[in-house]
Amino acid sequence: MSFPSLAERSGVSEPTVKRIFAGQIGEALFANVAAVVDALGMSFGLEEIDADELCRRQARMKAEQIARLVQGTSALESQAVDPTTYNRLVEKSYHELLAGSKRRLWAA
């Protein structure tokens, strides 16, 4: 499909369509990118997820990150923890993150 055809079909200007395909998506409105994707008969492939599940996933990811840091530091000191202790650390951190401020989940 040509750029002019895609622009007409999506209702997005041709220069914007060209920017999207040039990888300059950050310069395009999400609505325009979505219109182009829709005009191509495609989808973003995003799953719908509720806020609580998103928080649980983020807490799990963050807890595993914390445990890896502890494991790495312990290994440098020749005191690496065993897998059972590592899993307990992940679970403890996970529950603490969920119980605490949601800001902690998203902080770098």
Tens-level pLDDT at each residue, the chain (108 residues): 899 999 999 999 999 999 999 988 777 888 999 999 999 998 887 777 888 898 999 999 999 999 988 888 776 667 777 889 889 999 999 999 999 988 888 887
For residues 89 and 55, state if they share a domain: yes
Ramachandran angles phi, psi of 82, nearest 5°: -75, 165
User: Domain of 8?
Assistant: 3-39
Q: Does some domain include residue 12? A: yes
Find the helix or strand (DSSP H, E) in which 10 lies.
helix 3-10
Question: What pTM was estimated for this model as a whole?
Answer: 0.53
Q: How many domains does the chain have?
A: 2
Spatial neighbors of 44 by CB under 8 A, at least 6 apart, are 34, 37
Residue 78: strand, helix, or coil: coil
Quote the CA–CA distance of 76 and 48 in Å, as a whole number.
Answer: 41
For residues 94 and 55, state if they share a domain: yes
For residues 21 and 63, state if they share a domain: no
